[in-house]
């Protein structure tokens, strides 16, 4: 028997053969043949502290920090021996096999053949990714992609660092676990789930995708709950991966009192965009407006869909579709809380500084007072906005066009064409003053039918052509004053804006369709027209003035705000009583935002009566506390307004909402909140509480909610919902 020992480090096969050739040509040829048989035509790179060749036995033994690389596989071990006659490689002592897919196998002992694709292992540990592990007493590997493990356990949970001998939070034990890398599946035979080391569930067979799978058909995490309205409920979604660009989620909800709600969502990406379809249907007990069952059953449901697609780099088109079988279906089954459903096809184009769009609107009202015959249909609504390039002085022109046709089954119909051209000149003076001068001319033409126009003696119904021509001149001056004191940068900026336009323009023959939602606040102080749409205009000479200020420090710390007022030569009865703009001098409007540190954020928006500074609109938002304990408080007060079409004022709106969230430990979080109507006829609207546990392998969430809202068959409800998700099980 002849033995050769080579003390070497980082030797590749060619170097080994060359070294042995210097000693004996026969030994060099034999060793080269041995590595070629291991390699099967692929290069093998090996490094070791020592290398022993036994010519009589036909074995090559490497020891001490052995590293062998063959193809995309890498083997690390204390000792590796190759038997030429049996074409078998054995590795022992801290064996690590790294797969091309990124998986890593650890074992005390490995027998490998066929380019390390076949073999058996003892005391195997399989690391699928950074979080998921499998351990087994023994394992057999075949085809380079299938590992069959005996008496194995799977768990992504980390062991307790103080008591590593204790069982993890959860684990799956099985007599046999098979990992198929090609199919990317993990299958369990005779398996049971353990929580804290206690068996809780047995199954003869169970399968889930391995962590490398990003999309795969299968069941998603279910949610369970109990409701005073629906009874016990269970939602078990199923995800169907039809193709890489399309899928379906089936989400049936089983309820003990109201049957099954069959729901599904379809999603697809196309070459030019994407769209989705979401819907549900239920066959349940019919109820009257008091919530009492009528004794019969009926089908209810909803269908939502939206999509957006690109025609070319300029033009996009799409749609939004929302429809429900009846007013209360969505809120009864807690699908959605909308009070109006909107269907809108659209097309829009953006080309540099210019914009064009075409829309149509169809609405479904879900409030008890909604009359569908009186809800408008808008078809079409066309907009075009042009902004010209600045000339040598910085002046530029603009042009806006709007075409709208609105009709009802029962009520006012109107068609409107609005055109507005403008010239604008921004300018910065040597002193730092910022000026802006604008001159615009707008014309609105209407064709109306059945418009209620209040006369001196009675209300008439106008029809035919009407319109207005409206020139407007705007001049604005600002002086931003900035200075730095240490790390604080200060800003003080007075602003004055003067607007000249003729009185009138809001004829009773012009219906108010898009300017009803009006609220005077700090965001509209320096608007030339404070109405939200085009049907109403602000008239007469007026001046707006205010002061903006701010203090800005390092790390995003800041205190900033503004306050201002508007004044006009004559009162304007276009504005509602209580709006803050109906008199010569408006209410004071402003805002303050204080954020001195990450643990405190306070925002206050206000409208104060000019006579006595009484609050007519207050909005307060407060967020305070570190991430470990954070509270949020919101308060809103909106004083009553008298609409121009009615002599009866709607009631004040005043409410408060508060939430608190605390991270009790690294894994436990709790939260609670409430919302309350503070008006005389109000009360608590809802409250909720939640407890969440989440670590690297488990999510448990529970939420208790009480809703006091009444709307026909939707009665006050208490519901409890909880979700358990075992992570890395697909």
Residue 682: per-residue pLDDT: 79
Going by pLDDT thresholds of 50, 70 and 90, the confidence category of residue 403 is very high
Give the DSSP per-residue string, 217-260: -EEPPPEEEEETTTEEEEE--EEEEEETTEEEEE--EEETTTEE
CB 275 within 8 A of CB 281: no
Q: Please, are residues 47 and 62 in contact by the beta-carbon 8 Å criterion?
A: no
Report if residue 606 sits inside a domain: no
- 48 and 151 belong to one structural domain: no
Tell me the pLDDT band of 459, cut-offs 50, 70 and 90: low
CA 490 to chain centre: 36
Q: Which domain-ending residue is among 194, 214, 234?
A: 214
- Residue range 561-567: mean pLDDT, rounded: 96
Domain assignment of residue 98, yes or no = yes
Give the pLDDT mean for 26-47: 51
The pLDDT tens digits for 139-195 are 998 887 889 999 999 999 988 888 888 889 999 999 999 999 888 889 999 999 999
Q: In a 3-state reduction of DSSP, which class is residue 297?
A: strand
**DSSP-assigned letter for residue 94:** E
Pairwise pLDDT comparison (383 vs 214), residue with the higher score:
383
CATH number of domain containing 5: 2.60.450
Examine the domain organization and report whether 37 and 110 are in the same domain: yes
| pLDDT at residue 14 greater than cutoff 70 | no
Tally of CA atoms within 13 A in the half-sphere of 526 that contains its CB = 17
Please check whether residues 19 and 68 belong to one and the same domain.
Answer: yes
CB 366 within 8 A of CB 338: yes
Alpha carbon dihedral 328, 332, 333, 335, in 10-degree steps, equals 50
User: 20 pLDDT band (50/70/90 cuts)?
Assistant: very low
Q: How confident is the model at residue 460 (pLDDT cuts 50, 70, 90)?
A: low
Of 214, 234, 254, the residue at which a domain comes to its end is 214
Per mean pLDDT, which range of 45-59, 435-449, 522-536, 647-661 is the poorest?
647-661
Q: What is the pLDDT of residue 40?
A: 43
Do 66 and 165 belong together in one domain?
Answer: no
How many domains does the chain divide into? 3
Band the pLDDT of 547: cuts 50, 70, 90.
very high
Do 47 and 107 lie in a common domain?
Answer: yes
Q: Is residue 195 assigned to a domain?
A: yes
SS3 117: coil
Same domain, 112 and 185: no
The verdict on 34 and 94 lying in the same domain is yes
CB neighbourhood size of 681 (10 A): 6
In a domain, 334, yes or no: no
Decide which of 173, 199, 214 is a domain's last residue.
214
Buried b (16+ CB within 10 A) or exposed e, 461-493: ebeeebbbebebebbbbbeeeeeeeeeeeeeeb
Predicted confidence (pLDDT) at residue 212 exceeds the cutoff of 90: no
Q: Can you give the pLDDT at residue 605?
A: 95
HSE-up of residue 342 (Cα within 13 Å, Cβ side): 12
Q: Are residues 54 and 20 part of one domain?
A: yes
pLDDT for 10 beyond 50: no
Which range (42-56, 129-143, 296-310, 472-486) has the least confidence? Answer: 42-56
Query: Do 6 and 112 have their domain in common?
Result: yes
Domain span at 82: 1-116
Residues 75 and 155 in one domain: no
pLDDT in tens, 405-422: 999 999 899 999 999 999
Co-location of 80 and 6 in the same domain: yes
Is residue 159 a part of any domain in this protein?
yes
pLDDT, tens digit (0-9, with 9 covering 90-100), for 161-170: 888 888 899 9
Query: What tens digit of pLDDT does each residue of 674-719 get?
Result: 999 988 777 899 999 999 999 989 999 999 999 988 888 888 899 9
Residue 143 counted as domain residue: yes
Q: Per the domain annotation, does 158 fall within a domain?
A: yes
pLDDT confidence band for 54 (50 / 70 / 90): confident
| Letter string b/e over residues 603-628, b meaning 16 or more CB atoms within 10 A of that residue's CB | bbbbbbebeeeeebbbbbbbbeeeee
**pLDDT beyond 50 at 220:** yes
- Is residue 32 assigned to a domain? yes
Percent of the chain with pLDDT over 70: 91
Average pLDDT over residues 662-685: 91
The C-alpha atoms of residue 346 and residue 696 are separated, in whole angstroms, by 44
One domain for residues 2 and 110:
yes
Q: Which residue in 704, 701, 716 sits closest to 673, CA to CA?
A: 704
Average the pLDDT over each of 74-88, 339-353, 414-428 and give the range with the smallest value.
74-88
């Amino acid at each position: 028997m002849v033995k050769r020992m080579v003390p070497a480090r980082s030797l590749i096969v060619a170097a080994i053969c060359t070294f042995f050739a210097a000693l004996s040509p026969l030994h060099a040829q034999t060793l080269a043949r041995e590595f070629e048989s291991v390699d099967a035509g692929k290069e093998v790179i090996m490094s070791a502290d020592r290398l022993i060749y036994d010519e009589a036995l036909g074995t090559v033994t490497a020891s001490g920090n052995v590293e062998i690389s063959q193809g995309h596989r890498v083997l690390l071990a204390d000792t590796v021996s190759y038997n030429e006659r049996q074409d078998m490689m054995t590795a022992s002592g801290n064996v690590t096999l790294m797969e091309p897919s990124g998986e890593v196998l650890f074992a005390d002992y490995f027998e490998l053949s066929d380019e390390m694709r076949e073999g058996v292992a003892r005391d195997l540990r399989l690391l699928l990714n950074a979080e998921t592990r499998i351990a087994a007493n023994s394992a057999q590997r075949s085809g380079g992609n299938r590992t069959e493990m005996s008496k194995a356990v799977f768990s992504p949970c980390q062991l307790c660092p103080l008591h590593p001998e204790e069982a993890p939070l959860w684990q799956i034990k099985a007599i046999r676990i098979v990992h198929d890398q090609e199919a990317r599946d993990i299958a369990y035979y005779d398996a049971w789930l353990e929580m804290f080391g206690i068996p809780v569930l047995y199954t003869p067979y169970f399968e889930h995708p391995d962590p490398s799978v990003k999309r795969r058909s299968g069941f998603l995490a279910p949610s369970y709950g109990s409701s005073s309205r629906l009874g016990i409920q269970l939602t078990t979604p199923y995800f169907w991966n039809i193709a890489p660009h399309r899928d379906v989620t089936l989400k049936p909800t089983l309820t003990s009192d109201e049957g099954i709600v069959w729901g599904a969502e379809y999603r697809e990406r196309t070459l030019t965009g994407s769209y989705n379809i979401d819907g549900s249907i239920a066959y349940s007990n019919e109820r009257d407006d008091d919530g009492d069952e009528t004794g019969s059953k009926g089908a209810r449901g909803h269908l939502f869909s939206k999509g957006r697609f690109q025609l070319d780099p300029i033009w996009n088109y799409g749609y939004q579709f929302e429809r429900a079988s009846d007013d209360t279906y969505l809120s009864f089954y807690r699908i959605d809380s909308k009070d109006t459903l909107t269907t809108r096809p659209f097309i829009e184009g953006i080309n540099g500084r210019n914009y064009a769009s075409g829309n149509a609107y169809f609405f479904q009202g879900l409030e008890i007072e909604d009359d569908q015959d009186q809800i408008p249909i808008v078809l079409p609504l066309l907009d075009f906005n042009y902004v010209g390039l600045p000339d040598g002085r910085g002046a530029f022109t603009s042009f806006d066009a709007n075409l709208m046709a609105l009709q009802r089954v029962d009520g006012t119909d109107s068609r409107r064409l609005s055109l507005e051209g403008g010239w604008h000149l921004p300018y910065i003076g040597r002193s730092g003053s910022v000026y802006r001068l604008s001159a615009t001319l707008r014309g609105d033409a209407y064709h109306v039918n059945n418009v209620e126009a209040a006369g001196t003696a009675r209300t008439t119904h106008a029809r035919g052509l009407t319109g207005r021509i409206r020139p407007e001149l705007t001049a604005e001056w600002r002086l931003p004053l900035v200075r730095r004191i240490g790390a604080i940068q200060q800003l003080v900026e007075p602003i004055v804006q003067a607007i000249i336009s003729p009185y009138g323009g809001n004829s009773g023959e012009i219906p108010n369709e898009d300017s009803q939602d009006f609220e005077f606040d700090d965001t509209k102080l320096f608007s030339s027209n404070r109405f939200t749409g085009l049907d109403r205009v602000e008239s007469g000479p007026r001046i707006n003035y205010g002061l903006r200020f701010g203090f800005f420090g390092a790390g995003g710390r800041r205190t900033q705000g503004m306050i201002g007022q508007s004044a006009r030569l004559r009162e304007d009865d276009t504005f509602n009583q209580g709006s803050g703009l109906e008199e010569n001098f408006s209410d004071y409007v402003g805002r303050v935002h204080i954020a001195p540190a990450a643990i405190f954020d306070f925002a206050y928006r206000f409208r104060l009566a000019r006579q006595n500074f009484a609050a007519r609109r207050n909005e307060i938002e407060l967020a305070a506390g570190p991430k470990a304990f954070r509270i949020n408080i919101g308060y809103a007060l909106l004083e009553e307004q008298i609409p121009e079409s009615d002599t009866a004022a709607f009631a004040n709106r005043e409410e408060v909402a508060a939430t608190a969230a605390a991270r009790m430990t690294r894994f436990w979080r709790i939260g609670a909140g409430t919302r309350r109507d503070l008006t005389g006829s109000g009360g608590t609207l809802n409250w909720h509480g939640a407890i969440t546990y989440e670590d690297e392998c488990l999510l448990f969430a529970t939420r208790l909610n009480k809703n006091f809202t009444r709307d026909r068959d939707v009665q006050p409800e208490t519901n409890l919902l909880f979700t358990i998700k075992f992570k890395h099980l697909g």
